[in-house]
A = this chain, B = another copy of it.
Amino acid sequence: MKRQPRRGNSGKSNRSVPSEDQIIEKLRRVGSLRDRAAGLRLGIGDDAALFSPRAGFETVLTCDWFLEGTHFLRDKHPADAIGWKCLARVVSDVAAMGGTPRCFLLSLAVPATYTGRWLDDFLSGLRRAQNRLGCVLAGGDTTKSNRILIQVTVIGEVLSGKAVLRSGTRPGDAIFVSGRLGEAELGLRLLQSQKRIDPVDSHLRKHLYPEPRLHLGSWLAANKLATAMMDLSDGLSTDLARLCAASRVGASIEAARLPLPTRAGKRVSLSELALHGGDDYELLFTVSPKKLRRIPQHLGSLPLTRIGTITASQAVRIVDAASRQRSLKRNGWDPFRQR
């Protein structure tokens, strides 16, 4: 239990373990000269951070857990990948609104023995993600824990009235996804089965260092091309059901159209991975028929694939190559239903 006054403890015990303030000082160095450009007037070191929102924008607020044993494994996932991914996956939620990330808060709890090399590598990955995604560290909280606990909150912006919600799609709209589905799940399986990490394997990279689709999200929002949008974090079967529930519609997916991983998996069906695998952080979005011709096959190098159509039935169905229909069960990630 905390908060016991310790008489006789001069603060000199555990000399090799940094104090909370020394760890905060390490975090402060992650911040950069770009703080002010991001609208941050005051960053790490006070009771709170101060952020100046721009006129004409709404603020986007989102957060995610990233927990050892649930979302990553201490002995399998490199610390710098944990640093990258804990930020990238939250920024993906901002992309899914059509917004732009501005700054983030990091809540970190680690064992005392993880405040040296591990923390440095973690912060190195976090700094790379910060610079790549244009989202700077504004503050947070640190404490000690036996298990590595990470929580990230991202503050972003979206032009007022331009955010793309889950609730706006209508029967007849086309359903699109970006990129390929199931690659991150395949990457996770590679990680679990391999002794050494192959740094150039693209599926492994997609699992370890996902790239939020910020450009696609803001392009769709600014041009009012998407009627609904969300990011794919828990698997298509689960996330599409959520989008349909929010819009009170159904969907019909064509199995043959699913953009599968390019690499074959061992003892696993690629279409099962594409339907239920999590962690891809691609965007799922819907487009009304009259705007269909404005959606290209690629945006830059990112493929955009039509995988089906929104229906009025409120059920999610999948049609196979032989035109047989079946109900698509939600079989993606649910932490409370894991066996």
Residues of A with Cβ closer than 8 Å to B?
A: 1-3, 5-7, 9-11, 13-14, 17-21, 23, 41-42, 45-53, 55, 58-65, 67, 69-71, 73, 93-94, 96-97, 99, 103, 105, 107, 109, 112, 115, 138-145, 147, 149, 151, 153, 155-156, 158, 160, 163, 165-167, 184-185, 188, 192, 229-231, 235, 242, 246, 272-273, 275-279, 329-339
Distance to closest chain B CB from A258 (angstroms): 14
The distance in angstroms between the C-alpha atoms of A53 and B156, with both chains bound, is: 12
A59: chain B residues at CB < 8 Å are 50-53, 59, 155
Distance to closest chain B CB from A13 (angstroms): 7
The distance in angstroms between the C-alpha atoms of A334 and B47, with both chains bound, is: 16
The distance in angstroms between the C-alpha atoms of A101 and B10, with both chains bound, is: 37
- Contact (A13, B63) CB under 8 Å given A21-B242, A277-B5: no
A335: chain B residues at CB < 8 Å are 2, 20, 142-144
> Cβ of A50 and Cβ of B107 under 8 Å apart?
no
> Cβ of B65 and Cβ of A331 under 8 Å apart?
no
Q: Which of B14, B61, B158, B166 contacts A138 (CB 8 A)?
A: B61
- Contact (A45, B2) CB under 8 Å given A65-B107, A158-B50: no
Distance to closest chain B CB from A316 (angstroms): 12
A50: chain B residues at CB < 8 Å are 58-61, 97, 158, 163
> Cβ of B337 and Cβ of A63 under 8 Å apart?
no
> Cβ of A334 and Cβ of B19 under 8 Å apart?
yes
